[in-house]
Chain A
Amino acid sequence: MAEREPMMAEKVVPPIMEPGYTFATVTDKISSIVLTHKTPRGWYIGFGISFALFMMFLYAVSVLFVRGIGVWGVNIPVGWGFAIVNFVWWIGIGHAGTLISAILLLLKQDWRTSINRFAEAMTLFAVACAGVYPLLHLGRPWLAYWLFPYPNTMSVWPQFRSPLIWDVFAVSTYAIVSLMFWFVGLIPDLATLRDRATGRVQKVIYGLLAMGWRGSAKHWSRYETMYLLLAGLATPLVVSVHTVVSFDFAISILPGWHTTIFPPYFVAGAIYSGFAMVMTLAIPIRKFYHLEGFITMRHLQNMSKVMLAMGLVVAYGYGMEIFMGLLYSGNPHEHFQTVNRITGPYGIFYAALILCNILTPQLMWMRRTRNSVWALFVISIIVNIGMWLERFVIVVSSLSRDFLPSSWGMYAGTRYDWMTFVGSIGLFLTLLFLFLRFLPTISIFEVRAMLPAAAIKEKH
């Protein structure tokens, strides 16, 4: 396979798909993962671990609900801690999925087809993980529904000037649209599964989900239009979502938060971390399910190039922050905050995030790195860590030292903070394992359409 032959990789660009597949073999290869194969032991192990972590998450949350937000490390001045850090981190990760399926679709990047399905799934699960945090971090989570505008006897309404309300709308819109995007993308494949399913139960379930899809030419034509339009809508949406998330900080007056660079730099960071996560997931999956034929080195290389680019945008963001703070703004508090971020009590975290997000990824300039699956895997994980650190530094270092030195304080996560964070990774993986087991990991019909045989040779 590609990564086994660096000689060839040096020269030739590896193909999007290994040659020799037919409609039938494609269908068979992908759908068999779901239908015929008996569940591999590896899956049980992976799922078991993820589910255990998920249970830990539930435990931590129960304690939180019983005892109160005080079991976390948050305090005055640092009113936001892990919860918001994780929220931003997960939302960011989600972005790559939408980006791959929507933006690359509009840009006619064929290579997206074999990764967009689970990238979208990843988006959904990441958004699900992100979604729980704003709820958990409330002092009175049982009243979370007050953030939604609903007619009530008290005739009070949400305060629409608050970025948190924008968040509510942005994130729920994002969740709904991503879900629809993912589901309609699944319909034709569900039909395939329906038609190939042997067991009665499978037939019924996939049959219901497929909604009677039969691949009619007329349906296909409307379907394609819809898919394009949806992609067109999802693209500005995905950009807006992280922009709104960045408003949570940019709208405030806190030094280090109150800055106009945040929206673009958050979006770039989101895509950055998102691609890193896709990479982190794609590499083991293709190995485990022998999908190297569909997810080829070409995909990994392209993704690493995107990461490289985004990494540079993020680096520009950091640079601009420092420039603004030290040279341009002329605001003593901004100036102090910039220095504090780098040399203050949390300076070590800042150094670490520079190492993870800026320095390490530069290795990907080298083709050898881009051709080494292991290197890419490690780098992608490092970037994920780095992006988490970035959010931590943004949230905590600004809060811990603001305008009045008298109210400065420190912040550290408690064990419940950590359990909730690690636990949410468990939630994410649990969902992912279920998806891998019960739905086609790769969009079958799109792959079919990419086969040479699918091309229409016309004479007129």
Chain B
Amino acid sequence: MQQKKDRMNDEVGPIQFGSGNGFSLPVLGQDTPTTPESPDPIAAGSRDAASSEVLAFQKSVEGKSGKQYWRSIDEWAGTPEFEAYVKREYPSQVEVIVDPFSRRRFLQLMGASLALAGFSSCAYQPKEELLPYVRQPEEIVAGKPLYFATAMPMSGGAAPLLVRSNEGRPTKIEGNPEHPATLGGTDIFSQASILGLYDPERSQAVTYTGEIHSWSSFIGEIRVALGVEKSNGGQGLRILTEPVISPTLGKQIMDLLKLYPNATWYQYESAASDGAFQAAQEVFGEPVRPIYHFEKADRILSLDADFLASHPKNLRYIKDYTKKRNPEAGNTPNRLYAVETTATATGGNSDHRIPMKPSEVEMFARGVAAAIGVGAAAEVPEAFSLMIEEVAKDLKAHRGSSLVIAGDEQPAAVHALAYAMNGALGNAGSTVVFTKPLEVNPVAQLNGLRELVADMQQRKVTTLIILGGNPVYAAPADLNFAGALESVQLRIYHGLYNDETSSYCHWHVPEAHYLETWSDTRAYDGTISIVQPLIAPLYQGKSKHEVLAAIIDQSDHTSYEIVRAYWKSQGALNTEASWRQAVHDGFLKESALPAGGLTAKQTSGLLTNVTPQQQPASNTFEVNFRLDPTIHDGQFANNGWLQELPKTMTKLTWDNAAFFSPRDARNLRLENSMGSSGGDFEVDVVELELAGRKIKAPAWILPGQPDGVVTLHLGYGRTRAGHVGTATGFNANLIRNTGTPWNATGLIVRSTAERYVMAQTQTHHSMEGWNLVHETTFDEYREHPDYIHEEEPPTPRDLSLFPNWPYNGYAWGLAIDLNSCVGCSACTVACQSENNIPVVGKEQVMMSREMHWIRIDRYFTGSGDNPNGSVFQPVPCMHCENAPCEVVCPVGATVHSAEGTNDMVYNRCVGTRYCSNNCPYKVRRFNFLLFNDWTSASLKLLRNPEVTVRSRGIMEKCTYCIQRIQNAKIESEKENRLVRDGEIVTACQSACPADAITFGNINDPNSKVAKLKASKRNYSLLDDLNTRPRTTYLSVLRNPNPALKPTKTENA
């Protein structure tokens, strides 16, 4: 169903995305992939009669309009003039200004300023002549989407993607199933990046100290400045980037450094894992990096590594790990011992969750290592001795098929120990392999940053070019980066947003979104992935390549030329054919970095001498900083989908918090009191002091949080993120130190009188002893496969007085394997994107009105304070055959289709909400207010044209992606056949990195879903209600070490 397209191959040529749509004139010059006018959306777009919306939008943000736009947001919003302006220009937006729920209506607000900018700009548009196209371009059939391969660059490994394009508008992100690094799964960041593309708050014009300038004037002026630098070899020139993975970009920087031999290049990002880097340098003598093969691992020890968290680099790990635990696949299940310093998805899915203080991780590691025979014998805390003994025994029993993985946040010693243990256990080469780093030039990032700041303070830096990132926000507080920055004479910032950093820089060049530009990158395994644009830059953004080109006097080169030129020079892609193939596939086959099994130097100091534990002052806490589960290091702060996505473990939205263990909370008399309006929690605010710096943070009580540890998530507390992200949460960077970036001791916690209200989507964490998620061990399951139905016999089909409704032909159904689900939430975002689901804002989440069609219920198992783990249960509509919702609808707005889907007829719905009341699964969502944004120009491009955009007062819910079902049926009917199994893939299913969701025709006994439903593990939720759900679940299986206290399966 997803036929991929390759730009190079199609008749139309690259000009078509120059025009930002599929309908531009057939090309002239096949071999000149880019034509001079191609990047000009107006010129190209204007030739196009068909895609007026794209055109209109691009117009609206052109030149003058853009100026008014970005000014209005920053300077006008809220002021009387702005209000008056909106009233005059855009009456329907007046409410927004006075609306208390301003964040709920953030999209409208942005839409307002945009649109009014658009209005005022119309007058200045030159008169253009529109032509119908003379020849129908190939492949472009109105209403039929095309799929293009591309990749989303991300530190630690890019996300290989297929992007759906409707009439030239990218509308949906899918995984690239052929890409070896992921085999099709996606993560929440890439799923949500489509919203980032259309974010009207991305910066839209080159500015110098806030004044709009043209790209050419920018080039002109920096040439002058750089001319001066050149005279002394660029002594005062510094370049600060995020870790550079793109080979082309690397090459460009190298070229630049050739031109300016005395210039220096620094790399920094919040996620910097210097520990791993140093350890590799130390034990291997070179900056190699490990790649793990979970498909081969039978015993896993995770040293605070959250390798099941949603991130492109984890997608393959998640797939392999869960596949290994799937009894139907016939694998022997692995066993995961998860050491963790805060509650994480990895710990939740583990067989043995071992919570401990960050400072104890190294002790624990040394203990295990010693037991295995690595490093010096270490005295270990009594509490862990049994565990260490058993873990070591278990690992040793599985030489070559065991795996020790250390978390990025861990210090070098822990990484070194992990490397060494893997070596000693003979895993190197089997479950663990080592490759050259992804980065072109890996460095110890924090050292570099320190050096840069020092230079700046000593006024050694005359020109600083910041490419991407947001160091002013993200740099640890002790550096006082912003302060130092101000002593640089010329500061140039290239980034997506007009953010904290841009406000400190003279020049701000808007960055092109990855869906707007050519580039290249590597996936976590090193596979070269081509970044292919799907649309011309919406707001005159420039790619990093173009900016660098401008700096090294090649300003006439386009991204395409630069990338292509680089690869021409490389062996693999020097031919046109190979290049086209790579672009078409989205990656270069067999381009993963060569992997070898290195063994660590056993002599390394890191292994032998224990890092001295500075004794923390009494009644202080340990603190660990972590990247936020949904908005990462803050780069996604302005993304409504991610802001509103419930965090995996806490189910909090729109905020970060300081996590306390229940016991610590009791000692400190911290309270989380549930509010009265649905999803609101009033919590105590604490003052946190670390090394003399203080911040205030709401204290959240998290079961599973180790005692004595406070966890803070980075990425929040942005001051210039945009209307979505600004002033959400608090900025943990403000107490973060370069010395101890991830884990620190000596945190002083003071309670304050303040209270803070947080928005949570799941307020209750226990199953009340009801068998909502069946959980048992592999052994028990092997002995009594029927245990579920012994627990509760299935409701007989003939229970009803009424005859059963017959379902011949297709009968769609869904099976969700809870044993595979790791709770990453990619399905939720994918669904939001596919089905045009609105964002409602914190205030509405507090009123329990979030709109997600598929939510992930998270229940802690075991005792309340310190759960053994947690189970994740994705809950979409069950599509019950005896649907309780349908019977009570007075107008028949929700009824059954012949194929057994429970359909919502939006147009017929009058909004009694009775269906939701009567839905035992509470999967129905109601538009209590006008949640969907009907006005913002850019967001109109975002919408999936095949899904109704719901209005106020309407009930909605999961449709099993009915639009995809229909498409598949139409195709099959054209070919006069039945829909093939696997031909229909729901959005949640295709996004799932763990293949936990399977959709298909349950009437076909050979279909994958029918087979799953035949499994003994299969059960329907609340079966005794006789609703006969079409969505069923497969139970959770754990593989605890019998020698250790078996994991309790009953629920707190």
Q: Which residues of A contact B (CB under 8 A)?
A: 67-71, 73-80, 137-140, 143-144, 146-147, 156-159, 161-165, 168, 248, 251-254, 332-333, 336, 345, 399, 402-412
Contacts and interface: CB of A to CB of B under 8 A. Distances in A.
Contacts of B955: 139
Given A78-B678, A403-B770, A408-B764, 18 more contacts: A68-B930, A69-B928, A69-B929, A75-B677, A76-B924, A139-B910, A139-B928, A139-B953, A139-B955, A146-B908, A157-B892, A159-B890, A162-B889, A162-B914, A252-B917, A254-B918, A407-B922, A411-B676
18 contacts: A69-B928, A70-B844, A70-B928, A70-B929, A75-B679, A76-B926, A77-B917, A79-B914, A138-B912, A139-B955, A140-B910, A162-B888, A164-B914, A404-B1022, A406-B857, A406-B873, A408-B763, A410-B677
Given A147-B910, A254-B917, A404-B875, A79 B890 contact: no
Contact of B911 (A69, A158, A168): A69
A138 B910 contact: yes
A308 to B, nearest CB: 34
A336 B769 CA distance: 11
Nearest to A144: B910
Contacts of B952: 68, 139-140
Query: Which of B762, B772, B844, B928 lies at the interface centre, i.e. has the most chain A CB atoms within 10 A of its CB?
Result: B928
Contact of A164 (B844, B895, B912, B922): B912
Given A157-B892, A409-B848, A412-B676, A399 B917 contact: yes
Given A409-B763, A409-B848, A164 B888 contact: yes
Contacts of A163: 888
A280 to B, nearest CB: 30
A404 B920 contact: yes
Contacts of A75: 677-679, 847-849, 928
Interface in B838-859: 844, 847-849, 855, 857-859
A159 B590 CA distance: 60
A67 B674 CA distance: 27
Contacts of A404: 772, 857, 875, 920-922, 1021-1022
A431 B111 CA distance: 47
Interface in B744-791: 762-770, 772
A10 to B, nearest CB: 50
B887 interface: yes
B929 A68 contact: yes
Nearest to A81: B913
A386 to B, nearest CB: 21
B551 to A, nearest CB: 51
Contacts of A77: 848, 916-917, 922
A409 B875 CA distance: 17
Interface of B: 674-679, 762-770, 772, 844, 847-849, 855, 857-859, 873, 875, 884, 886-892, 895, 908-914, 916-918, 920-922, 924-930, 952-955, 1021-1022, 1025
Nearest to A154: B908
B849 A70 contact: yes
A261 B599 CA distance: 75
Contact of B909 (A69, A139, A345, A408): A139
Nearest to A66: B95
Contact of A159 (B678, B891, B953, B1022): B891
Contacts of A78: 678, 848
A138 B911 contact: yes
Q: Which 3 A-B pairs have the closest CB atoms?
A: A139-B911, A139-B953, A70-B928
A409 B954 CA distance: 20
A162 B894 CA distance: 12
Contact of A410 (B676, B769, B927): B676
Contacts of B912: 137-139, 164
Contacts of A405: 764-768, 770, 772, 859
Contact of B922 (A76, A140, A144, A158): A76
Given A70-B929, A164-B888, A332-B770, A139 B913 contact: yes
A18 B679 CA distance: 61
A214 B913 CA distance: 52
Contacts of A252: 884, 888, 914, 917-918
A258 to B, nearest CB: 10
Nearest to B887: A161
Contacts of B763: 408-410
A176 B953 CA distance: 30
A18 B858 CA distance: 72
Query: Which of B895, B909, B917, B926 lies at the interface centre, i.e. has the most chain A CB atoms within 10 A of its CB?
Result: B917
Contacts of B916: 76-77, 79
Given A139-B927, A406-B764, A410-B677, A76 B914 contact: no
A275 B675 CA distance: 37
Interface SS majority for chain B: loop
Contacts of A138: 910-912, 953
A156 B1021 CA distance: 33
A242 to B, nearest CB: 18
Contacts of B922: 76-77, 402-404, 407
Nearest to B762: A406
Nearest to A414: B677
A69 B930 CA distance: 10
B656 to A, nearest CB: 22
B891 A158 contact: yes
Contacts of A156: 891-892, 908
A402 B923 CA distance: 13
A139 B849 CA distance: 14
Given A67-B929, A77-B848, A140-B953, A158 B890 contact: yes
Contact of B890 (A147, A253, A333, A410): A147
A183 B913 CA distance: 37
Contacts of A333: 770
B928 A80 contact: no
Query: Which of B674, B875, B912, B953 lies at the interface centre, i.e. has the most chain A CB atoms within 10 A of its CB?
Result: B912
A162 B884 CA distance: 11
Contacts of B844: 70
A146 B891 contact: yes
B652 to A, nearest CB: 14
Contact of B847 (A73, A164, A403): A73
A406 B675 CA distance: 16
Nearest to A167: B890
Contact of A147 (B674, B891, B924): B891
A131 to B, nearest CB: 15
A41 to B, nearest CB: 42
A402 B250 CA distance: 57
B989 to A, nearest CB: 21
A238 B613 CA distance: 80
A396 to B, nearest CB: 11
B926 A403 contact: no
A146 B912 CA distance: 12
A121 B769 CA distance: 52
A49 B908 CA distance: 40
A221 to B, nearest CB: 44
A399 B916 CA distance: 10
Nearest to B1021: A404
Contacts of B873: 406
Contacts of A159: 886-887, 889-892, 895
A406 to B, nearest CB: 4
Contacts of B910: 138-140, 143-144, 146-147
Contacts of B913: 74, 79-80, 137, 139
A238 B886 CA distance: 28
A408 B848 CA distance: 9
A339 to B, nearest CB: 11
A421 B653 CA distance: 33
A79 B674 contact: no
Contacts of B927: 68, 139
Contacts of A410: 674-678, 763, 848
A307 B508 CA distance: 78
A101 B963 CA distance: 58
